[in-house]
Structure 1
């Protein structure tokens, strides 16, 4: 747990980090929002853009922004390496807050995250992500709930989180020695593993339902192919992170067999839904069945050592 005196009050140093990779349009929309969050805060807030483009493509854009936004180059490919650069660049800051470059925070987003951390003294605070669409997805995608994310009452404990809306108590993170595993840099899942390790070491994560960010979904992601591939990757990453948190060979074998059986069950049950949905023309059953099949197949693939690199680069 955090120092009670610090978590209840006092002037804080806060770093808000946005990781980016060749998205100048998204950055131009996000940066004014982050500056507004900093202006509304009573704490000492730094804005940090971590550029994971080997060519440092965002350097000039950030330099020309002229609003005290800091730039750091994370040349090593992979989002895990970029997240580690953000950890290092945060220095001795009290808090580090992650947001994605294709997200937009609501008013007082940062203040609400910090207030929840002050109240609960947790190791991390997690906020909701809702989707907005460049092109409205079809009925099949909506019926399958592919973009539906969790919502919980503020103050609820959570045990897993992504870094798309996450506050970290850096004193606790430094004490635990937590880093993002670069083996997951091009596959996704390093944030899942990070949060699972945080909990395994006795840390706590608390939900703040008012600290909303909106995920701007491009047309290329509002397709059947993309959402099914994402479900497969989700299953694949869950298997890999579940194995990574097991400290013994016996534990890894047990986990591999258990999750493989669960994956097979998802494939069988989901396949049944697909067939029934197609026969009865119920798109919800068909879509949810395909989602289950893809996630189950990802678990099975991971059990046999197959790795799906969603973020691989040419």
Structure 2
């Protein structure tokens, strides 16, 4: 009887980086991943700085990582350019994205692959657990305002994020798909990417045990940062609603988002004695205000690039 040998699964792990020393810890966490038998792992580092500032850091880490590392310089300060460089250099059956300030749990990749195999989904999302420093406000830590999870609508995930995701590269919904360069400094490029992927027939699954950890720096442990982020998220959603609706439908969406925003702000005022509930409703009100802004055609505010430079 002839024995059938399955072709090894090839997996690329993409890390887009911009002047972050935390990249070392990201790579060290990838170095100790549990890898399915026969799987071949390759890491793609996309350096988004004007100069190839991460090259020396990556070269210094090669001896500590048991996988091939491909370094790509893709200037400058536009995360969509870096993400697209990862898509262009990927050659595996799957492509996973993880951020350069995150660390992966040991079973991260295995859990993602199990879910991809079980569901046949085009994309698999995992949770991102925020890790707070002691200087973060107590209400922020208790309410966990920075962790990332997918949003279900009628039992289905309609969009995604790139801070913890596995893509099936051969999926028709991903063929030729790229991140929007125009959103590379504001954020929201991943929301648009996965929304269009889903509309093209792509299915998105969730692997609850495919956990990665993300420290919350002091610059982000503030109401102002959370407010800007929620407002930008709302702008992205509003802009995408505007693309899909016109005429009276647009005005109905504006009225609905405005009503939701007013309701959330009123609830925040009534719940002023509870910091967690007050901020949760307040931030939702800001997000809905962002939706109104997006529906009026206002472009997303820039939140990344030069606005958040991390030390070398």
TM-score (norm 1): 0.85
Residue of 280, 302, 308 corresponding to 1:309: 302
Of residues 14-23 and 228-237 in structure 1, the stretch that sits farther from structure 2 once superposed is 228-237
Deviation track 1:249-281 (CA, whole Å, cap 9, x = no partner) reads xx3445533432232113211221233234xx2
1:161, 1:117 → 2: CA distance? 15
Residue 294 (structure 1) shift: 1.0
Structure 1 spans left out of the alignment, 5+ residues: 1-8
Asked if residue 288 in structure 1 is aligned to residue 288 in structure 2, the reply is: no
Aligned 1:150-165 pairs, distance under 5 A: 150=149, 157-165=156-164
* Paired residues of 1:17 and 1:47 also in contact (CA < 8 A): yes
2:174, 2:285 → 1: CA distance? 40
Asked if residue 224 in structure 1 is aligned to residue 217 in structure 2, the reply is: no
Structure 2 spans left out of the alignment, 5+ residues: 1-5, 308-312
Q: Sort the Cα spacing of 1:299 and 1:121 in 2 relative to 1 into closer, same or farther, 3 A.
A: same
Q: Sort the Cα spacing of 1:34 and 1:40 in 2 relative to 1 into closer, same or farther, 3 A.
A: farther
Q: Sort the Cα spacing of 1:243 and 1:151 in 2 relative to 1 into closer, same or farther, 3 A.
A: closer
Map of 2:310 onto structure 1: none
2:122, 2:10 → 1: CA distance? 16
Asked if residue 13 in structure 1 is aligned to residue 10 in structure 2, the reply is: yes
Asked if residue 135 in structure 1 is aligned to residue 134 in structure 2, the reply is: yes
Map of 1:87 onto structure 2: 87
Asked if residue 72 in structure 1 is aligned to residue 34 in structure 2, the reply is: no
Map of 1:257 onto structure 2: 251
Q: Sort the Cα spacing of 1:217 and 1:285 in 2 relative to 1 into closer, same or farther, 3 A.
A: closer
Deviation track 1:58-104 (CA, whole Å, cap 9, x = no partner) reads 011112222332211111431111111100010x3211000001111
Map of 1:271 onto structure 2: 265
* Paired residues of 2:173 and 2:198 also in contact (CA < 8 A): no
Asked if residue 59 in structure 1 is aligned to residue 55 in structure 2, the reply is: yes
1:174, 1:94 → 2: CA distance? 15
Q: Sort the Cα spacing of 1:149 and 1:75 in 2 relative to 1 into closer, same or farther, 3 A.
A: closer
Give the number of the structure whose residues are more often helix, by fraction. Answer: 1
Residue 117 (structure 1) shift: 1.1
